[in-house]
Amino acid sequence: MAILSEPEQHRDSRSINRRKFLAATTGLAAASILASSNATGATPAPGVMSPPHPAGPLALEGGTPVRSTMLHSKNPGPQYYDDEERREVLDVLESRSPFRWDRFDKPGLPPKTINFEKEFAAHQGTRYCVGVTSGTAALITALAGLGIGPGDEVILPAWTWYACYDAILVHGALPVFAEIDRSMDIDPTDIERHITPNTKVIMVVHIQGEPADLDAIMPIAKKHNLKVLEDCAQCVGASHRDRRVGSIGDVGIYSFQESKTITAGEGGAVVSSDPLIFERAVRFHDVGMLRNPGHGEMLGQPPRLKQTVGINLRMNEFTAGVMRAQVRKLDRILADQRDKQARVLARIADLPGITLRKKNVPTGGTGSRILIWTSGKEQCDRFIAAMKAENVNAGHSGGSALLPTVPHIEAKVGLEEGWPSFSTPAGKAMTYGAACCPKTLEIWDRYVELYMDPKYSDQDVNDIIAAVRKVYLGVMKG
């Protein structure tokens, strides 16, 4: 049974008549088709001729594939490695000072991690940044910065990465799942029903390159006096209107693991403009200390806390060096990725009834993916199989998990027996599983995902367009 209500229901491709489509495919009525269809996120290209889709049957049905070899996307960051990253790494090697605080005593050796932190904070538009070892470490550090512990509840989307759930659990707090909507980000209309007197944080995850609806979420947080943690691991560099994601909530986190927009293999960062959140985060990630010079200087005011319990999640100088070079390239990578995405979108926008991912902000996404809506799992699976047969890779949404249905999460397994997350009355009463996120499961079943590699050639882009057009017309007709 379909759970989604209008207008979220799939619009049947047959609702646009053939005469209109023929007009559209010759470039005459693309704009009016777009206006009358539910297509979102696509840039109409009035007057631009759509490429002819290859005649003949789908490759899945024995026809000739669009490409002779499979088109796979590569991770963006490493494709931009050049002398800049090489120099940064060599510099650390030759200095024999890979520890972030070591270089502070060595004249002529500018410390890299603190400079990375200053540069990334400036890029993202926050007062503070602390570099850490991974995005997971950043989430754990950010929650420490917010003072989260046993008895607290954190709302997070049902479709996101394990680290989001794990970080809450590590602090002994209770993860509370909210549904996503057709943007694949947390559904703002599903947040308030989960708020209890124990709720402290809304963990907003900007998923798969598209910012969540902060215009709707921030007022909810304000109304209920909640903190907002923005997880930008999958959205590094994206903007929400005129601000970078991560700088709008109380605290933001990023991952620099290899599949993210910029990378040193592993790495992460926490940003904030709140001095207390920053001081708590710094102390947590650096064995309870606030070192001066270094973070003490960055804080820019007398510390409010004393040395306390912390762990070690510090970034090292190799990672920081590579990340400094990558931050300098971030906007170029984003521009390349957005360009590929825009070119494909513009030339599939006229397909009859095509419905794309809902965008919460018209521009500002990373451009890393295109999502095409289908009528359900069966059609989605067939679409994916048909794209692969054309030698253009496609899949269901990737890079995250439908967390409430993962067996150990559904079983509420803690880090050990009697873990505080599940021993409070709310923790005991909590039920996960498919029943807590039916809308999320249905939405996930329906989207076909295509990755946009920022270095795709013109031929690659044309092949994607040709394959989508051919498969869409072949698969959606039935």
Ligand X SMILES: Cc1ncc(COP(=O)(O)O)c(C=O)c1O
Among 135, 246, 252, 353, contact with ligand X (rule: CB under 6 A): 135
Q: CA-to-CA distance for 201 and 195, rounded, in angstroms? A: 10
Which residue, 263 or 374, is less far from ligand X as judged by CB?
263
Residue 144 or 233 with smaller CB distance to ligand X:
233
Give me 307's structure tokens.
């040395």
Q: Is 410 exposed, middle or buried (0-12, 13-18, 19+ CB in 10 A)?
A: middle
CB of 409 to ligand X, least distance (A): 15
For residue 291, give Cα distances in angstroms to 117, 128, 198, 355: 14, 15, 33, 52
Helix (H) or strand (E) holding 106: none
One character per residue 46-85, x = contact with ligand X (rule: CB under 6 A): ----------------------------------------
End-to-end CA distance of the chain: 19
Residue 319 in contact with ligand X, rule: CB under 6 A: no
Please pick, from the candidates 136, 272, 326, 421, the single residue that binds ligand X as defined by CB under 6 A: 136
Is residue 441 classed as helix, strand or coil in its secondary structure?
A: helix
Q: What is the DSSP letter of 208?
A: G
> 175 - beta bridge partners?
154
CA–CA distance, 224 with 197 (Å, rounded to integer)? 9
User: Candidates 48-56, 159-167, 378-386, 404-412 — which segment interacts with ligand X by CB under 6 A?
Assistant: 159-167
Compute how many other C-beta atoms are within 10 angstroms of the C-beta atom of residue 54.
Answer: 17
Please identify the residue of the shown chain whose CB is closest to the bound ligand X. 135
Find the farthest-apart pair of alpha carbons in the chain and give their distance in angstroms, rounded: 75
Q: Can you give the length of the chain in residues?
A: 478
| Closest CB to ligand X among residues 39, 169 | 169
Any contact of residue 461 with ligand X (CB under 6 A)? no
Q: Identity (one letter) of the amino acid at 188?
A: P
Considering beta carbons, is residue 65 or 209 the nearer one to ligand X? 209
Closest separation in Å from C-beta 170 to ligand X: 12
Which of the stretches 86-94, 155-163, 360-368, 444-452 binds ligand X when contact is defined by CB under 6 A?
Answer: 155-163
- 161 makes contact with ligand X (CB under 6 A): yes
> Taking the alpha carbons of 254, 267, 174, 283 in that order, is the dihedral positive or negative?
negative
How far is residue 191's CA from residue 401's CA, in Å, rounded to a whole number? 20
Stretch that binds ligand X, among 228-236, 324-332, 337-345, 367-375 (CB under 6 A): 228-236
Report angle CA 238, 241, 244 to the nearest 5 degrees: 40
CA distances 365 to 242, 350, 368, 451, Å, are 12, 22, 8, 13
Query: Judged by CB under 6 A, which of 145, 237, 268, 474 binds ligand X?
Result: 268
Q: How far is the CB of 81 from ligand X (least distance, A)?
A: 18
Choose between 71 and 138: whose C-beta lies nearer to ligand X. 138
Q: Hey, which residues does 451 pair with through a beta bridge?
A: 369
Q: Which stretch binds ligand X (CB under 6 A): 41-49, 128-136, 281-289, 457-465?
A: 128-136
Binder among 97, 124, 239, 255 for ligand X (CB under 6 A): 255
In the region spanning residues 387 to 446, those forming contacts with ligand X, defined by CB under 6 A, are 399
Assign residue 414 a region (left: φ > 0; alpha: ψ between -120 and 50; beta: otherwise): beta
* Binding-site member from 163, 226, 264, 371 for ligand X (CB under 6 A): 163
- Contacting ligand X (CB under 6 A), which of 97, 126, 134, 375? 134
Smallest separation, CB 58 to ligand X (Å): 33
User: Of these, 124, 257, 272, 374, which contacts ligand X (CB under 6 A)?
Assistant: 257
Q: Which of 30, 59, 121, 205 is close enough to bind ligand X by CB under 6 A?
A: 205
> Which residues bind to ligand X, rule: CB under 6 A?
134-136, 139, 160-161, 163-164, 205, 231, 233-234, 255, 257, 268, 399
